């Protein structure tokens, strides 16, 4: 099972009794269709509809969501979420399980890591699993990038700049 540790990724958690309705109202991801054990792509948009932040979102429990984003924009992402919080009963914080790894191929759904596995829903015809928590060092980041590109999965920072693209430009409407 090939894998890669993604050192450029960070986790933000949103929890509380209003977490689902809070996120449903400001993000592009349909949370009603988000199953447990699955990570789906999403974005927070500018008023013009361009991608301000992109991420993968997964359920981490009842009224608890984990948002995986680029580590270099995670603090700005958290600040932006706080602006929308208003009176919503939610907590927004860096997640305790801050390490991210990805594995693909045969056995990708079984964890060799001490972590939480979730299926990456962007890959329709490949078995790709993300692991949050304790992960092994190393892996093959170049092979991960090649797999991602071969499947047409765009990521901000390397394939497009935040604030410059619409969701349909980077195929967010396909997942």
CA distance 41 to 175: 7
26 domain-assigned: yes
Q: Beta 38-45 vs 51-61: how paired, if at all? A: antiparallel
Domain extent, residue 111, equals 3-153
Quick one: pLDDT at residue 54?
A: 97
Q: Name the E strands within the chain.
A: 3-5, 9-15, 38-45, 51-61, 64-70, 91-94, 100-104, 115-120, 128-133
Place 55 in a pLDDT band, splitting at 50, 70 and 90: very high
Q: What is the pLDDT of residues 99-150, one digit of tens each?
A: 888 989 876 555 555 577 899 999 988 889 998 876 667 788 899 999 999 9
Higher pLDDT, 21 or 138: 21
What long-range pairs does 17-20 form, CB within 8 A, spacing at least 24? 17/63, 17/89, 18/88, 18/89, 18/90, 19/63, 19/64, 19/65, 19/90, 20/63, 20/65
167 domain-assigned: no
65 domain-assigned: yes
Quick one: pLDDT at residue 174?
A: 72
Q: Considering just the CA atoms, what is the radius of gyration of the chain in Å?
A: 15
72 domain-assigned: yes
CA distance 48 to 28: 14
Quick one: pLDDT at residue 136?
A: 65
pLDDT at 63 over 90: yes
Total number of domains in the chain = 1
91 domain-assigned: yes
pLDDT at 67 over 80: yes
140 domain-assigned: yes
pLDDT at 73 over 90: yes
The alpha carbon dihedral of 139, 145, 148, 151 has a sign of negative
Quick one: pLDDT at residue 96?
A: 67
Q: Provide the CATH number for the domain around residue 75.
A: 3.30.70.1400
166 domain-assigned: no
Quick one: pLDDT at residue 169?
A: 94
pTM of the model: 0.91
pLDDT at 155 over 80: yes
174 domain-assigned: no
Question: SS3 for 158?
Answer: coil
């Amino acid at each position: 099972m090939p894998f890669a540790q993604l050192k450029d990724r960070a986790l933000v958690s949103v929890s509380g009794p209003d977490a689902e309705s809070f996120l449903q109202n400001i993000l592009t991801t349909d949370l009603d269709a988000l199953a447990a054990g699955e990570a789906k792509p999403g974005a927070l948009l500018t008023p013009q509809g361009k991608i301000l932040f992109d991420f993968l979102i997964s359920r981490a429990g009842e009224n608890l969501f984990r948002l995986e984003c680029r580590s270099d924009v995670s603090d700005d992402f958290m600040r932006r979420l706080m602006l929308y919080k208003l009176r919503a009963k939610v907590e927004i914080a860096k997640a305790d399980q801050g390490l991210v790894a990805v594995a693909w191929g045969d056995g990708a759904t079984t964890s060799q890591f001490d972590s939480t596995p979730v299926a990456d829903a962007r890959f329709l015809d490949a078995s790709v699993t993300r692991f949050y928590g304790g992960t092994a060092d190393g892996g093959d980041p170049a092979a991960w990038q090649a797999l991602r590109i071969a499947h047409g999965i765009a990521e901000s920072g390397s394939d497009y700049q935040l604030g410059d693209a619409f969701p349909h430009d980077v195929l967010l409407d396909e997942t």
